[in-house]
Amino acid sequence: MFGLSLAFGYWSLEKFLRMPLHVLSHPLGAHVLTHLRDKTTKPALFRALSYQISLLLALEATRDLASVEKTIETPMETTTGHVLAKPIVVVSILRAGLGMVQPFHDTFPDVSVGYVGLERDHLTAVARSYYCKLPPLAGKRVIVVDPMLATGGSAVQAIDAVKATGGKEIVFLCIVASPEGVALMQQVHPEVPIHAGALDRQLNAKKYILPGLGDFGDRLYGT
Protein backbone atom coordinates (compact mmCIF):
# COMPACT_ATOMS: atom_id res chain seq x y z
CA MET A 1 0.00 0.00 0.00
CA PHE A 2 2.94 2.34 0.57
CA GLY A 3 3.73 2.37 -3.16
CA LEU A 4 0.53 4.24 -3.93
CA SER A 5 2.19 7.65 -4.00
CA LEU A 6 4.31 6.46 -6.93
CA ALA A 7 1.36 5.15 -8.92
CA PHE A 8 -0.92 8.07 -8.20
CA GLY A 9 1.41 10.87 -7.22
CA TYR A 10 -0.97 13.75 -6.58
CA TRP A 11 -2.78 11.74 -3.89
CA SER A 12 -1.03 11.83 -0.53
CA LEU A 13 -0.48 8.58 1.32
CA GLU A 14 -2.26 10.06 4.32
CA LYS A 15 -5.39 10.71 2.25
CA PHE A 16 -5.33 7.21 0.82
CA LEU A 17 -5.11 5.69 4.28
CA ARG A 18 -8.23 7.63 5.32
CA MET A 19 -10.27 6.10 2.49
CA PRO A 20 -12.98 3.57 3.37
CA LEU A 21 -10.87 0.88 1.68
CA HIS A 22 -10.61 -2.58 3.25
CA VAL A 23 -8.13 -4.96 1.61
CA LEU A 24 -8.70 -8.62 2.43
CA SER A 25 -6.07 -9.96 4.82
CA HIS A 26 -6.40 -13.72 4.95
CA PRO A 27 -3.94 -16.45 3.90
CA LEU A 28 -6.62 -18.26 1.93
CA GLY A 29 -7.48 -15.05 0.10
CA ALA A 30 -3.86 -14.58 -0.94
CA HIS A 31 -3.66 -18.23 -2.04
CA VAL A 32 -6.83 -17.98 -4.14
CA LEU A 33 -5.84 -14.66 -5.69
CA THR A 34 -2.47 -16.05 -6.79
CA HIS A 35 -4.21 -18.81 -8.74
CA LEU A 36 -6.76 -16.37 -10.18
CA ARG A 37 -3.88 -14.26 -11.52
CA ASP A 38 -2.15 -17.28 -13.10
CA LYS A 39 -2.83 -17.19 -16.85
CA THR A 40 -2.77 -21.00 -17.03
CA THR A 41 -5.83 -21.34 -14.72
CA LYS A 42 -8.70 -22.85 -16.72
CA PRO A 43 -12.28 -21.46 -16.60
CA ALA A 44 -13.70 -24.24 -14.38
CA LEU A 45 -11.06 -23.68 -11.70
CA PHE A 46 -11.28 -19.92 -12.21
CA ARG A 47 -15.01 -20.03 -11.39
CA ALA A 48 -14.40 -22.10 -8.25
CA LEU A 49 -11.68 -19.72 -7.08
CA SER A 50 -13.93 -16.73 -7.79
CA TYR A 51 -16.57 -18.28 -5.54
CA GLN A 52 -14.07 -18.82 -2.73
CA ILE A 53 -12.65 -15.30 -2.67
CA SER A 54 -16.10 -13.75 -3.12
CA LEU A 55 -17.31 -15.67 -0.05
CA LEU A 56 -14.40 -14.32 2.00
CA LEU A 57 -15.17 -10.78 0.82
CA ALA A 58 -18.89 -11.22 1.53
CA LEU A 59 -18.18 -12.25 5.11
CA GLU A 60 -15.82 -9.31 5.65
CA ALA A 61 -18.27 -6.81 4.17
CA THR A 62 -21.14 -7.98 6.37
CA ARG A 63 -19.45 -8.42 9.74
CA ASP A 64 -21.16 -5.22 10.95
CA LEU A 65 -24.71 -6.25 9.96
CA ALA A 66 -27.24 -5.46 12.67
CA SER A 67 -28.95 -8.31 14.48
CA VAL A 68 -31.93 -8.65 16.81
CA GLU A 69 -32.66 -11.04 19.65
CA LYS A 70 -34.89 -14.04 19.03
CA THR A 71 -36.21 -16.52 21.57
CA ILE A 72 -36.18 -20.14 20.43
CA GLU A 73 -36.69 -23.61 21.85
CA THR A 74 -33.68 -25.94 21.70
CA PRO A 75 -34.23 -29.68 22.32
CA MET A 76 -33.24 -28.92 25.91
CA GLU A 77 -34.67 -25.54 26.91
CA THR A 78 -35.70 -22.03 25.93
CA THR A 79 -32.86 -19.71 24.98
CA THR A 80 -32.24 -16.39 23.29
CA GLY A 81 -30.15 -16.04 20.15
CA HIS A 82 -29.64 -13.45 17.43
CA VAL A 83 -30.81 -13.24 13.84
CA LEU A 84 -30.09 -10.72 11.11
CA ALA A 85 -32.20 -7.58 11.48
CA LYS A 86 -32.68 -6.87 7.80
CA PRO A 87 -32.27 -8.58 4.42
CA ILE A 88 -29.53 -7.66 1.99
CA VAL A 89 -29.57 -6.85 -1.71
CA VAL A 90 -26.70 -7.80 -4.00
CA VAL A 91 -26.34 -5.72 -7.16
CA SER A 92 -24.24 -7.39 -9.82
CA ILE A 93 -22.53 -5.29 -12.50
CA LEU A 94 -22.96 -7.44 -15.60
CA ARG A 95 -21.48 -9.57 -16.84
CA ALA A 96 -18.43 -10.34 -14.69
CA GLY A 97 -20.21 -9.49 -11.45
CA LEU A 98 -22.33 -12.63 -11.83
CA GLY A 99 -19.28 -14.61 -10.75
CA MET A 100 -19.54 -13.05 -7.27
CA VAL A 101 -23.28 -13.53 -6.60
CA GLN A 102 -23.59 -17.23 -5.72
CA PRO A 103 -21.86 -17.02 -2.31
CA PHE A 104 -24.55 -14.56 -1.19
CA HIS A 105 -27.33 -16.91 -2.35
CA ASP A 106 -25.73 -19.79 -0.48
CA THR A 107 -24.99 -17.93 2.75
CA PHE A 108 -27.50 -15.19 3.48
CA PRO A 109 -31.25 -15.57 4.09
CA ASP A 110 -33.74 -13.34 2.29
CA VAL A 111 -31.18 -12.07 -0.22
CA SER A 112 -32.43 -10.45 -3.40
CA VAL A 113 -30.38 -9.64 -6.49
CA GLY A 114 -30.35 -6.66 -8.82
CA TYR A 115 -28.50 -6.17 -12.08
CA VAL A 116 -26.81 -3.23 -13.76
CA GLY A 117 -25.61 -3.94 -17.28
CA LEU A 118 -22.53 -1.94 -18.26
CA GLU A 119 -20.44 -2.71 -21.33
CA ARG A 120 -16.92 -1.34 -21.55
CA ASP A 121 -15.77 0.21 -24.81
CA HIS A 122 -12.30 -1.25 -25.30
CA LEU A 123 -11.12 1.85 -27.20
CA THR A 124 -12.32 4.55 -24.80
CA ALA A 125 -12.57 2.43 -21.58
CA VAL A 126 -15.93 4.18 -20.94
CA ALA A 127 -18.82 1.95 -19.89
CA ARG A 128 -22.16 2.04 -21.72
CA SER A 129 -25.32 1.23 -19.77
CA TYR A 130 -27.65 -1.27 -21.48
CA TYR A 131 -29.72 -2.74 -18.63
CA CYS A 132 -30.85 -1.95 -15.07
CA LYS A 133 -33.19 -4.03 -12.90
CA LEU A 134 -33.18 -3.39 -9.16
CA PRO A 135 -35.43 -4.70 -6.36
CA PRO A 136 -36.72 -2.40 -3.58
CA LEU A 137 -33.66 -1.02 -1.80
CA ALA A 138 -35.00 1.20 1.00
CA GLY A 139 -33.92 0.08 4.46
CA LYS A 140 -31.60 -2.67 3.17
CA ARG A 141 -27.85 -3.21 2.99
CA VAL A 142 -26.95 -2.97 -0.69
CA ILE A 143 -23.76 -4.71 -1.81
CA VAL A 144 -22.59 -3.81 -5.30
CA VAL A 145 -20.25 -6.42 -6.78
CA ASP A 146 -17.83 -6.23 -9.70
CA PRO A 147 -14.58 -8.23 -9.79
CA MET A 148 -12.43 -5.41 -11.19
CA LEU A 149 -12.34 -1.81 -9.97
CA ALA A 150 -10.21 -0.38 -12.80
CA THR A 151 -11.03 3.18 -13.87
CA GLY A 152 -13.93 3.20 -11.42
CA GLY A 153 -16.40 4.40 -14.05
CA SER A 154 -18.64 1.32 -13.95
CA ALA A 155 -18.72 1.26 -10.15
CA VAL A 156 -19.66 4.94 -10.03
CA GLN A 157 -22.45 4.48 -12.59
CA ALA A 158 -23.85 1.44 -10.78
CA ILE A 159 -23.85 3.21 -7.41
CA ASP A 160 -25.51 6.24 -9.05
CA ALA A 161 -28.31 3.89 -10.15
CA VAL A 162 -28.57 2.33 -6.69
CA LYS A 163 -28.86 5.74 -5.03
CA ALA A 164 -31.45 6.88 -7.58
CA THR A 165 -33.55 3.84 -6.65
CA GLY A 166 -33.44 4.57 -2.93
CA GLY A 167 -30.33 2.73 -1.78
CA LYS A 168 -28.52 4.40 1.10
CA GLU A 169 -26.54 1.75 3.01
CA ILE A 170 -24.16 0.78 0.19
CA VAL A 171 -20.96 -1.28 0.10
CA PHE A 172 -18.81 -2.04 -2.94
CA LEU A 173 -17.00 -5.39 -3.36
CA CYS A 174 -14.28 -6.21 -5.88
CA ILE A 175 -11.58 -8.82 -6.21
CA VAL A 176 -8.87 -6.51 -7.57
CA ALA A 177 -8.77 -2.69 -7.35
CA SER A 178 -6.51 -0.05 -8.87
CA PRO A 179 -5.45 3.16 -7.09
CA GLU A 180 -7.12 5.17 -9.86
CA GLY A 181 -10.45 3.40 -9.40
CA VAL A 182 -10.33 3.81 -5.64
CA ALA A 183 -9.56 7.51 -6.06
CA LEU A 184 -12.55 8.08 -8.36
CA MET A 185 -14.83 6.26 -5.94
CA GLN A 186 -13.55 8.42 -3.10
CA GLN A 187 -14.18 11.54 -5.16
CA VAL A 188 -17.74 10.68 -6.26
CA HIS A 189 -19.02 8.35 -3.53
CA PRO A 190 -16.71 8.95 -0.54
CA GLU A 191 -19.11 7.40 1.98
CA VAL A 192 -19.22 3.99 0.24
CA PRO A 193 -16.82 1.44 1.79
CA ILE A 194 -14.77 -0.63 -0.65
CA HIS A 195 -13.81 -4.23 0.14
CA ALA A 196 -11.14 -5.57 -2.20
CA GLY A 197 -9.20 -8.80 -2.45
CA ALA A 198 -6.12 -6.81 -3.47
CA LEU A 199 -5.05 -3.27 -4.27
CA ASP A 200 -2.83 -3.49 -7.35
CA ARG A 201 -0.16 -1.14 -8.66
CA GLN A 202 -1.76 0.90 -11.46
CA LEU A 203 -3.62 0.92 -14.78
CA ASN A 204 -1.81 0.46 -18.07
CA ALA A 205 -2.38 2.58 -21.19
CA LYS A 206 -5.44 0.48 -22.12
CA LYS A 207 -6.91 0.96 -18.61
CA TYR A 208 -6.30 -2.63 -17.50
CA ILE A 209 -5.09 -3.26 -13.96
CA LEU A 210 -1.44 -4.21 -13.38
CA PRO A 211 -0.46 -6.84 -12.38
CA GLY A 212 -4.17 -7.67 -12.49
CA LEU A 213 -5.54 -10.94 -13.83
CA GLY A 214 -6.72 -10.06 -17.34
CA ASP A 215 -10.32 -9.76 -18.51
CA PHE A 216 -12.29 -11.35 -15.67
CA GLY A 217 -15.44 -12.03 -17.71
CA ASP A 218 -13.50 -13.68 -20.52
CA ARG A 219 -11.63 -15.88 -18.09
CA LEU A 220 -14.76 -16.70 -16.11
CA TYR A 221 -16.76 -17.84 -19.13
CA GLY A 222 -13.96 -18.98 -21.45
CA THR A 223 -14.81 -16.43 -24.15
Q: What is the phi-psi region of residue 66: left when phi exceeds 0, alpha when psi lies from -120 to 50, beta otherwise? A: beta
Active site residue 124: yes
Q: Kindly name the residue from 107, 110, 124, 128 that is annotated as catalytic.
A: 124
Active site residue 110: no
- Asked if residues 193 and 60 have their Cβ atoms less than 8 Å apart, the reply is no
Backbone torsions φ then ψ of 100, nearest 5 degrees: -110, 0
Q: Which stretches does DSSP call E strand in 3-152?
A: 21-23, 67-73, 78-84, 88-94, 112-120, 127-133, 141-145, 148-149
Q: Kindly name the residue from 120, 141, 151, 219 that is annotated as catalytic.
A: 120
Active site residue 71: no
Distance CA 102, CA 106 (A): 6
- Dihedral angle, C-alpha 110, 172, 42, 210, nearest 10 °: 180
- Asked if residues 163 and 170 have their Cβ atoms less than 8 Å apart, the reply is yes
Residues with catalytic function: 120, 124, 215, 218
